[in-house]
Chains A and B, each alone.
Chain A
Amino acid sequence: MPPLPQELINGVPINAYLGLSAVLFTLGVAGFLFRKNLITVFMCIELMLNAVNLSFVAFSYKHGKVDGHLFTFFVMVVAAAEAAVGLAIILTVFKNRQTLLVDEVDSLKL
């Protein structure tokens, strides 16, 4: 294994975490834009939430406070609620129109 540069030995720079969270978030957005399966789209939302959580925790490490953790905690709870309702909605959608394609579900207009 190549020797690490000296400034990396004594810890990871905080903005590496932030960058990682940014990358994950963007991937989530990409998935949201390009995937067609409702459930997958929903999972992409979860991915975005996770990315944001990571940055929350990173920031709370930076400030040595616990608040970021609490935000993460709340995000988790809300995500759980959202998953429950959202999946129920997806089930209903599938029951009513036998499809999971986001593009098919577009009658809510005009």
Chain B
Amino acid sequence: MHHLWLIPILPLAGFAVNGLWGKRFSRSTISTVAVSSVVLSFLWVLKVLSGGVEQPIKETYFTWIQSGFVNIPFELAVDRLTAVMLLVVTGVGSLIHVYATGYMAKEDGYYRFFAYLNLFMFFMLLLVMANNYLLMFVGWEGVGLCSYLLIGFYYLKNSATTAGNKAFIVNRIGDFGFSLALFLIVVQFKSLTFDDVLRGVQAVPVEQTAGMITAICLLLLVGAAGKSAQVPLYVWLPDAMEGPTPVSALIHAATMVTAGVYMVARSAALFLKAPVAMDVVACVGLGTAVLAATIGMTQWDIKRVFAYSTVSQLGYMFLALGSGAFAAGIWHLVTHAFFKALLFLGAGSVIHAMHHEQDMRHMGGLRKYIPATFWSLACAWVAIAGVPPFSGFHSKDAILLAAHAHHPWMYWVGVATAGVTAFYVSRAMFLTFFGDFRGHGHPHESPASMTVPLAILGLLSLGGGYFNVPHYLEPVLGAAHEEHPFSLVAISVVAGLSGIAIAWFLYIARPGLADSIADSLGGLYKLVHNKYFVDEFYFATVVHPIIGGSRSLLWKGLDAGLIDGIVNGTGSVARRVGSVMRRFQTGNIRSYAAWVVAGSVAVVVILGVAGGVR
């Protein structure tokens, strides 16, 4: 008995304490409760994993749902995949909690923030530890809820609440797909437990159930796309940056958005049986990567740049999954968690230093004002740009090689995207830290509670590539192919470096050249800068029709017309009947009683005639 339940329960307890009594606590108490709860669960994870997980650890607590042939236990399990996720979630989570105590120090609703954050940790841990799809779905919805709450944390800002609603609604679409997938799984495998599904998949020969399994996989993909911001459901993630920066780092970079990746990896067995779905996944991933990367080149808001970078990196992970290298995907998930969390936290530190200025055009030259932030961000920079031997290089490399093995053209697109990635990150770095200071006010370095996590994450994103995740995951996800053709590796590295170089050329060597290029591109630049007008497109095609339709048809027609009509009709009929029946109502209790007695006499007599109650 490893008492796995402790891992999710601890943050939940933190949430309960802060949520119920946080209003009366001092800030130090709140942060102590919140941070310690997460750190404790991190330590417990370490204790559980210290025993090694050659055999998956399963703990069934009670039968949750028993209905017909479906029996869903409340069961937590830890295998190596979960172990990796647990380490990332609780580890990075703890760092970000620590960071948040510094970042949010001056904000209102301090206890609210940390209560939500702990609740999120609870649901995320539930998600990764669940041993069946339904429990996973609970965590899935829970993290969605928390992300909604935290995006709308500054609920006085209209944009924040709108962003929250957007995130929530777009996620609903994904969750709809997911739940459909769950229904299909129940129909197909008569169970929702991962093991049963795995067994079922291996049991039946492919050709019989290919259609069904493909459907399941595609629906799962819809869910994953919703949660992990893939085309066409990625639009909520950039807006989600309205939330506080630690939230963007924890939820919208490191953990929640990777839930989709985790889910697909968890269902690897299913996907492997559905090559079509695999290709779809790969294409979606690739498309997302390219799209987001190109948009990222043209944004001025530092957090938005990193948001699009997140989207494109997630695209990479899906590319990996689609090309069958699940382990590589998870690996990139881990490294990405490190350097993207770092990027966001760094951005947060920058914003903190700039007194909540997010526009890169008003920054610059911050290198000398906030060195600690700069150097830690530099680590993330080289990591994401794929500069060997840093973490991003390894995982991205593994993905690209897998893509090459899958479809060579995917490799080339990926490489291009890698270049673009390197470019926009370098652009952000140059605009922020180099050149001369274009802002106003005096930037100040952030407190230790923020810089220390930055430093730790910096080290991780430098060295994180040497956790050989694919090797560790072999028992779960099968062996990754090992050969590293030097040429391919070299090409991707060159792409990355060239991206950096171009950025240097455009923003350091020849400042202003970039704008002129943008003007010369004209329409194309506008198209990209306005995110391909995707939002506008959705509004025109989906949102407006739905609103209009429900107003005219559902409200005016169905509700006001039909339902009210039925209700009023019933009422009037009742009144007409009553106008007759009220003659009997003299208001005298005893005459009612007499009637009752008469009725019972009738009953009794009939019974007697019928021959008693034998």
Contacts and interface: CB of A to CB of B under 8 A. Distances in A.
The answer to A–B direct touch (Cβ < 8 A) is yes
Interface of A: 29, 32-33, 41, 102-103, 105-110
B590 A32 contact: yes
Contacts of B585: 109-110
Contact of B593 (A32, A103, A109, A110): A32
Interface in B564-614: 582, 585-590, 593-594, 597
A19 B594 CA distance: 22
Contacts of A41: 589
A33 B586 contact: no
B587 A29 contact: no
Contacts of A108: 587
28 contacts: A29-B593, A29-B597, A32-B590, A32-B593, A33-B590, A33-B593, A33-B594, A33-B597, A41-B589, A102-B588, A102-B589, A102-B590, A103-B588, A103-B590, A105-B589, A106-B586, A106-B587, A106-B588, A106-B589, A107-B587, A108-B587, A109-B582, A109-B585, A109-B586, A109-B587, A110-B582, A110-B585, A110-B587
Interface residues on B, range: 10 to 19
Interface string B500-519: 00000000000000000000
Majority-rule SS of B interface residues: helix
B195 to A, nearest CB: 45
The 8 closest A-B pairs by CB, nearest first: A109-B587, A106-B587, A106-B588, A109-B585, A102-B589, A108-B587, A32-B593, A110-B582
Nearest to B588: A106
Nearest to A105: B589
Contacts of A33: 590, 593-594, 597
A110 B593 CA distance: 18
Contacts of A32: 590, 593
Contacts of B594: 33
Contacts of B582: 109-110
Contacts of A102: 588-590
A107 B585 CA distance: 10
Nearest to A107: B587
Contacts of A106: 586-589
Nearest to B604: A22
A49 to B, nearest CB: 15
